[in-house]
Amino acid sequence: MVESNYLSVTQLTTYLKRKFDYDPYLQRVYLTGEISNFRPRSGHQYFSLKDDHAKINVVMFAGAFKKVKFQPETGMKVNVVGQVTLYAQSGQYQITIDRMEPDGIGALYLAYEQLKEKLATEGLFSRPKRALPRFPKRIAVITSRSGAVIHDIMTTAARRDPLAQIVLFPAVVQGNQAADSLVQRLRQVYQYADFDVIIIGRGGGSIEDLWPFNEEIVARTMVASPIPIISSVGHETDTTIADLVADQRAATPTAAAELATPQLSEVLASVLDGRTRLLRSFQRQLQLWRQQLQRQQQSFLFQHPERLYQGYLQQLDLLQQRFRQTGQAYLQTRRQLLQKVTQRLGQVDPSAQVDNQRLRVENLQQRSTRAMQGLLQQKRQQAGQQMQALDQLSPLRTVARGYSYASDEHTQKALTSVIDFQVGQTFQLQLKDGRIKANVLQKENDKNE
Amino acid sequence: MSEPKKSFEAQLDELSQIVNELEQGNVPLETALAKFQTGIALSRSLEQTLAQAEQTLTKVVDEQGNVSDLADDDNQQAK
Amino acid sequence: MSEPKKSFEAQLDELSQIVNELEQGNVPLETALAKFQTGIALSRSLEQTLAQAEQTLTKVVDEQGNVSDLADDDNQQAK
Amino acid sequence: MSEPKKSFEAQLDELSQIVNELEQGNVPLETALAKFQTGIALSRSLEQTLAQAEQTLTKVVDEQGNVSDLADDDNQQAK
Amino acid sequence: MSEPKKSFEAQLDELSQIVNELEQGNVPLETALAKFQTGIALSRSLEQTLAQAEQTLTKVVDEQGNVSDLADDDNQQAK
Amino acid sequence: MSEPKKSFEAQLDELSQIVNELEQGNVPLETALAKFQTGIALSRSLEQTLAQAEQTLTKVVDEQGNVSDLADDDNQQAK
Amino acid sequence: MSEPKKSFEAQLDELSQIVNELEQGNVPLETALAKFQTGIALSRSLEQTLAQAEQTLTKVVDEQGNVSDLADDDNQQAK
């Protein structure tokens, strides 16, 4: 029996656990306290609640924690509902909660504030806002199919920019399915490449009504948008997370449509004004150019181009005149010199000299002839005298008186002596009127000789 | 209409830029002439686009991507 | 129009320079003559360029200073 | 026109020099004759150059001294 | 014209010297004759040279002392 | 013309001496005859020389003793 | 003509001596005859010489005492 007095730890703990589990008060405990040791985990959450004097371990299973709208933080005062249980393995009691709400303010508001702070920290609000296209061709509108929002947008767009195509992507904008619906429609729009701008919104309502526009998933999907988004959620006083992450926020759907579309009549006016300015400035510029060109065209030179060469005309004319005069004077000088010399040359013509010499030659000729004639005459006289004298002394004159003489018939030599003859010799006897041939018959010498 | 690819906005910007340039002067004549002609053409193109603007009907796209005109009732409300 | 590449302003400058040089005198005759002819050619080229630009403007603006009528004409031609 | 390379001024100078030399006398006749001929050639060349200059300028500028009229004519021819 | 190489002036000098010699007399007949002939030849040569020079110059200068007539003729031929 | 080298004057002197000798008489006949013949030859030579000179001069100088006329004739022939 | 080398004067002297000798008488017939014949021969020779000389002179000088005719003949022959 004694031995049976000792319980095993398991026996005791099992006993105690049954006490906890079967106690009707501990089945559902409404507990308020301050969160301690909270470290967010992916699945189940383990943390503590405490007050000034006590502390209790808290377990919140993942399924329950998913429903919590806000992000628990250490030090935060919360109201929780749960069952107190004993955890046998560690021997510790704990409260397993399935609901947790912030103490004091509303859970939605807290959740809103927490998300706003979180997103602000991430810089989603301060990121550069995309500029809205001035002339959107296609505008995607994500809102409820029924209601004033789409109506107001259509009316305004048609009035300002009939060219803009409004395409409605009907979405659930209230209730539990709203966030998913909005996200789905946004993503659907993103898949089209030809939208220029998105208007997302709904009409006014309570914070619960507007809550889908405060959902983080909606905000993050909007931030991921490739095109600018205009938000118009609730009234002007309501500011949702969607409004904060949108590129532009419009107070009303009408305002959203005005932001999205240009006033075409103003655009036309500006186009026409531009054209007028274009004409005017071009006209003015043309006038300016025309003036500049005219200034050159009307220059003195173009009016009197002959000035380019007129000076030369005169210069050349004078030079030519001098050239002619100089040339003439030059030649005249030579001409006069030549004439003078030629005249003198004419005066020294050797004709006179020729004539004089001719006279001299003729004179000499005459004198020569005369002298020769005289000489001949003289000689003839001299010869004539002698010849006449000879004739007077010719021995033949004796023959003429009757004498005759003998001569050798060959040599003509006078034969004057007997000894000159030979008997029989033929000789010639010269008579006064001729000659005869004779033979020597006989010869005899005279004695006295 | 030499360049139909340019968006309305790009044309508007180009017109505006041309107007500014010509108003500032100092543009060579040939450039100015070309710009002037371009500007005039742009202004006509823009004017025509604006003048020919016809109201487009609002479309509705459902989750499956089916496109339909917005119900007559809705359109009537819009008018 | 031997050198269409030169801009209006470049031609105007050239013309202006020629006029200055010739008015200052001291230019040899042949050079002066050549420059004068170049000047005339430039003047004509400039005149033509300017006249074309002016015509372009006149084509755009009718007597009432109304642009759109002619713009319509152009559109009809373009069509 | 044996030496078209010489400028008008150079030719004028040359003629002037010939005249000066002839005026000083002392030039042998044959040289003078050559100079006469050179002078005559120069004189004609110069006259021709001036006549051409006159023609050229007259062609360009009409009686009213208006350059643009002819420029218009040219334009019409060019058309 | 046996020696065309001699210049006009040289020939004139030679002629002048011949005349001087002949004027002094005492020149043998043949020498005188030869010199006279030379003188005549020189005189003619000089005359011819001078006449050519005068013709050359006359080609330039007509009765009115106007050069341009001949120049014009040349121009017409050249055309 | 046995000795053309002798000048006219030398021949004339020779002739004159011959005549003097002949006139002085006392010359042997054959010598006189020879001298006479020499004289005759000389006189003919001299006459011929003179005749040639005359011809030459006639060719050169016309009846009026005007040189320039003949020069002109030559010019005309030369033309 | 047995001794042509003897001059006219020598012959004349010889003749004159013969005449003198013959005039003195006392000359034997034979000698006289021989001398006489020599004289005759001399006479003839002298006569001939004179005749030739006279012919020569006559050939040169015509009746008017003018030399040129015969000179002309010579000239004609020479031609």
Where are chain A's structural domains? 7-105, 133-262, 266-297, 302-393, 401-439
Phi/psi of residue E30, each to 5°?
Answer: -60, -45
G33-51 confidence digits (pLDDT tens): 888 888 888 888 888 888 8
The secondary structure of chain G in percent helix, strand, coil, rounded to multiples of 5, reads: 75, 0, 25
- First-to-last alpha carbon distance for chain B, in angstroms, is 33
- In angstroms, the separation between the Cα of residue D28 and the nearest Cα of chain E is 7
**What pLDDT score was predicted for residue E60?**
60
At residue A6, the 3 state secondary structure works out as: coil
Half-sphere exposure of A321 (CA within 13 A, CB side): 7
Average pLDDT (A57-71) is 86
Query: What φ, ψ does residue C6 adopt, rounded to 5°?
Result: -70, 140
Q: What's the CA gap between F62 and F74, in Å, rounded?
A: 13
Contact D67 C29 (CB under 8 A): no
Chain G CB within 8 Å of residue F30 CB? yes
DSSP type of residue A74:
T
Q: Give the rounded percent of residues in chain A with a pLDDT score beyond 90.
A: 18
pLDDT at A391 over 90: no
Q: Does A352 touch chain F (CB under 8 A)?
A: no
Of E29, E36, E44, the CB nearest to F74: E44
pLDDT above 70 for A448: no
pTM greater than the 0.80 cutoff: no
What's the start-to-end Cα distance of chain E, in Å?
39
ipTM: 0.63
Q: Are A288 and A188 in contact (CB under 8 A)?
A: no
Chain C contact for A278 (CB, 8 A cutoff): no
**Residues A354/F53, Cβ–Cβ less than 8 Å:** yes
Q: What is the pLDDT of residues E14-67, one digit of tens each?
A: 999 999 999 998 888 888 888 988 888 888 888 888 888 888 777 765 433 454
Fold that domain A133-262 belongs to in CATH: Rossmann fold (3.40.50)
Q: Contacts of residue A335 in chain E, CB cutoff 8 Å?
A: 50, 54
pLDDT surpasses 80 at D77: no
CA nearest to B36, candidates C5, A280, C9: A280
Mean pLDDT of chain A: 86
Specify the pLDDT at position A199: 93
Query: Are A431 and A399 a contacting pair, CB within 8 Å?
Result: yes
Of E29, E40, E43, the CB nearest to F53: E29
Q: Please, what is the angle between helix E29-60 and helix F29-60, to 10°?
A: 10
- D54 — contact with chain C (CB < 8 Å)? no
State whether residue D36 sits within 8 Å of chain E by CB. Answer: yes
Q: Which chains touch G (3 or more CB pairs under 8 A)?
A: A, F
Collect all residues with Cβ–Cβ distance below 8 Å to E16 and sequence separation of at least 6.
A341
Q: How far apart are CA A148 and CA A254, in angstroms?
A: 10
Contacts of A332 (CB under 8 A, 6+ apart): none
Q: Any idea what DSSP says for residue A5? A: G
CATH superfamily of A7-105: Nucleic acid-binding proteins (2.40.50.140)
The two structure tokens encoding residue A117: 């702070």
User: Can you tell me the distance from the alpha carbon of A348 to that of F45, in angstroms, rounded to the nearest whole number?
Assistant: 24
Kindly state the average pLDDT of the residues G10-34.
Answer: 85
Calculate the alpha carbon distances from A257 to A252, A449, G45 in Å.
Answer: 9, 219, 181
Centroid of chain to Cα C76: 29
pLDDT digits (tens, 9 = 90+) for C7-35: 899 999 999 999 998 888 788 888 888 88
- Cβ–Cβ of A293/C61 closer than 8 Å? no
CB A245 within 8 A of CB A125: yes
Cα separation of A93 and A90, whole Å? 9
Tens digit of pLDDT for each residue in A394-416? 877 878 888 888 888 888 777 88
Residue D74 has a pLDDT of 44
Give which of D47, D52, D49, D41 is closest to D18, Cα–Cα. D41
pLDDT confidence tier of residue A2, bands split at 50, 70 and 90: low
Residues of chain G contacting residue F47, judged by C-beta atoms under 8 Å apart: 68, 71
In whole angstroms, give the CA distance from residue G8 to residue G47.
10
Q: Kind and range of the H or E element at B73?
A: helix B72-78
pLDDT tens digits for C28-61?
888 888 888 888 888 888 998 999 889 888 888 7
The Cα–Cα gap between A419 and A449 comes to 12
Residue D44: closest CA among chain E residues belongs to which residue? Answer: E71
- Of E8, E60, E75, nearest to D30 by CB-CB distance is E8
Do chains A and B have 3 or more beta-carbon pairs under 8 angstroms? yes
Per-residue model confidence as pLDDT tens digits over A6-53: 889 998 999 988 888 888 888 888 888 888 888 888 888 899 888 888
pLDDT (tens digit per residue) in A129-173: 888 888 888 999 999 988 888 999 998 988 888 888 899 999 998
* Contact check, Cβ <8 Å, F28/G49: no
- Determine the Cα–Cα distance for residues A108 and A135; give it in Å rounded to an integer: 39
Cβ F23–A361 below 8 Å, yes or no?
no
Test mutation, E1, E3, E6, E9, chain D, max D CBs within 10 A:
E9
Weakly modelled stretches of chain F, pLDDT under 70? 1-5, 61-79
Is the per-residue pLDDT at G11 higher than 50? Answer: yes
Tokens 């050519």 label which residue?
Answer: E52
- From the CA of F4, how many Å to the nearest CA of chain G? 16
Name the more confident of G71 and C8: C8
Continuous segment of H or E residues that includes residue A264: helix A264-297
Are the beta carbons of A174 and A207 closer than 8 angstroms?
no
Which A residues, 112 through 151, put their C-beta within 8 Å of a C-beta on chain B? 133-135, 145, 150-151
Span A253-261, average pLDDT = 90
The more confidently predicted of residues D68 and B62 is B62
In this predicted model, what pLDDT tens digit does every residue of A200-247 receive, in sequence order?
Answer: 988 887 777 888 888 889 999 999 999 999 999 887 777 888 888 899
